[in-house]
Amino acid sequence: MARPKKLTEDTMRATVRISERDWEAFNAQAKAMGVTRSELIRLIAQGKIPLGQINQQAIALGKS
């Protein structure tokens, strides 16, 4: 996967603790949507993908 584009605003590094199973599911969801994990987090944070709607968004994008 190519390196993501540099963002125009400052970013910060964050750490989360989740189970291995959930991490694998998160990775799989990002891959199915054709975005990086960071992009998926930003999309959720910006409200572009409402919580609980990730699978429907992937379907709408034709990525699942």
Q: What would the pLDDT profile of 16-52 be if each residue is shown by its tens digit?
A: 999 999 999 999 999 999 999 999 999 988 988 877 7
Domain contains 36 = yes
Domain contains 52 = yes
Residue 4's φ and ψ, nearest 5 degrees, are: -65, 155
Q: What mean pLDDT comes out for the span 5-24?
A: 87
- DSSP letter at 3 equals P
**Domain count of the fold of the chain:** 1
Domain hosting residue 35, numbered range: 20-60
Domain contains 5 = no
Domain contains 8 = no
Question: What CA–CA distance (Å, rounded) separates 23 from 19?
Answer: 6
Token pair listed for 52: 């609980």
Q: What is the pTM for the complete model shown?
A: 0.66
Domain contains 56 = yes
How many angstroms separate the Cα of 40 from the Cα of each of 10, 24, 28? 18, 14, 11
Domain contains 50 = yes
Higher pLDDT, 43 or 6: 43
Question: What CA–CA distance (Å, rounded) separates 36 from 30?
Answer: 6
